[in-house]
Amino acid sequence: MEFLQLENIHHSYFSSTQAKEVLRDISLAIREGEFVSFIGPSGCGKTTLLSIIAGLFPSTEGKVYIDGDELAAHNQSSIGYMLQQDYLFPWKTIEENVTIGLKIMERSNNSHKVTANALLQEVGLPHVGNNYPRELSGGMRQRVALARTLAVNPKILLLDEPFSALDYQSKLKLEDLVVETLKTYKKTAVLVTHDIGEAIAMSERVFLFSANPGTLHKVFEIPEALRELSPFDVRQHPTYADVFQMIWKELESLG
Ligand SMILES: Nc1ncnc2c1ncn2[C@@H]1O[C@H](COP(=O)(O)OP(=O)(O)O)[C@@H](O)[C@H]1O
Ligand SMILES: [Mg+2]
């Protein structure tokens, strides 16, 4: 069994008057330490699928296995979730924001400061522990959010369009930082993005979903030559444009 395994996931949202089928028969497997991306048209169910993997709510049908264990809903301790907005608490310092998950999980208190400072160092923000979120730029706040996500030592990181609110330059820098950091900590990660280039630059495989209802349409293996490079360097590589064209055409064919 693979590290993250989805078996025949179906999901519908129910209101008092109707049922809306959002995901149909999704099965896939992701290796430990692998970095994959989910792409597809808006509304194809990417966020719904991440939420199911995160254990925020159970799927209507199907099973999720993480590291051999079937995921029980509301057992979220093995998951780190990073969203478009950083959701830092404005009244807490950066250091307090980074350790918030640890405090919730009641891990020993004296190690918090060490963890926070080591992670802030890792994301290139060694001197901001005593600052407040309002004093940092959007890109810096997302780096703090990454540190916070890593602080609870999750088995899997789920990243739902975490760079989409950033300017292009910050986004490129953060792509490199995230890939480098996750490699250092050997983390398994799923990135949702609407940016094909970002998916190619960061991932080992790209999963393309189609909509109405959301189904897994195709899986692309990113060539070895690109996988060895940093996201920034992938975008400069001659093969990058070919891979981009191939995925772009497939996405266009979904209409
Ligand atoms: N809580 C909800 N209740 C009802 N419908 C929802 C809910 N969340 C999402 N949807 C619908 O499910 C579909 C998939 O949404 P979502 O998972 O957010 O897609 P994506 O992230 O790919 O854009 C959309 O049609 C959306 O309107
Ligand atoms: Mg979404």
Is residue 19 in contact with ligand 1, taking CB distance under 6 Å? Answer: no
Q: Is residue 142 part of a domain?
A: no
Q: Which domain holds residue 234?
A: 1-78+187-255
Tokens of 93: 């310092």
Dihedral sign, Cα of residue 55, residue 9, residue 185, residue 206: negative
- Whether 124 lines ligand 1, by a CB cut-off of 6 Å, is no
Ligand nearest to the CA of 20: 1
What pLDDT does 115 receive?
A: 80
Query: 114: CA distance to ligand 2 center in Å?
Result: 34
Question: Is 44 near ligand 1, meaning CB less than 6 Å away?
Answer: yes
145 lies in a domain? no
Residue 148 lies in a domain: no
How many angstroms separate the alpha carbon of residue 45 from the centre of ligand 1? 6
Which pLDDT does position 139 carry in this prediction?
A: 92
Per-residue pLDDT at 69: 87
Burial of 239 (0-12, 13-18, 19+ CB in 10 A): middle
DSSP string, 221-237: EPPHHHHTS-HHHHTTS
Give the tokens for residue 224: 């070895």
Contacts of 23 (CB under 8 A, 6+ apart): 9, 10, 11, 45, 48, 49, 52, 59, 213, 214, 215
Residue 178 lies in a domain: no
Residue of 191, 184, 105, 88 whose CA lies nearest to 143: 88
- Upstream peptide bond of 213 is cis (omega within 30 degrees of 0): yes
Structurally, how many domains does the chain consist of? 1
95 found inside a domain: no
Q: Is the CB of 13 inside a 6 Å radius of any atom of ligand 1?
A: yes
Cα 212 to middle of ligand 1, angstroms: 11
User: Does residue 200 fall inside a structural domain?
Assistant: yes
- Segment-wise mean pLDDT, segments of 10 residues, the chain, 255 residues: 95 94 98 97 95 91 92 69 85 89 64 80 92 94 91 90 90 93 92 96 98 97 96 97 97 90
The tokens of 102 are what?
């640890």
With a CB cutoff of 8 Å and minimum separation 6, the contacts of 253 are none
Q: CB of 31 closer than 6 A to ligand 1? A: no
Q: Supply the residue whose CA is at minimum distance from atom 1 of ligand 1.
A: 13
Which atom of ligand 1 is nearest to 49's Cα?
17
Identify which ligand lies nearest to the alpha carbon of 211. 1
pLDDT at 31: 97
- Compute, in angstroms, the gap from residue 49 CA to the centroid of ligand 1: 10
Is residue 141 in a domain?
A: no
Are the beta carbons of 99 and 91 closer than 8 angstroms? Answer: no
Residue-level pLDDT at 109: 61
Nearest CA owner, ligand 1 atom 8: 48
Q: Is 244 exposed, middle or buried (0-12, 13-18, 19+ CB in 10 A)?
A: middle
Q: Distance from the CA of 54 to the center of ligand 1, in angstroms?
A: 16
CA 47 – ligand 1 centroid, Å: 7
Kindly report the CATH number assigned to the domain that includes residue 240: 3.40.50.300
Count CA atoms within 13 Å of residue 236 on its CB side.
Answer: 6
Decide: 47 in ligand 1 pocket, CB within 6 A: yes
Q: What is the pLDDT of residue 228?
A: 93
Dist. CA 31 → ligand 1 center (Å): 27
Decide if 37 is inside a domain: yes
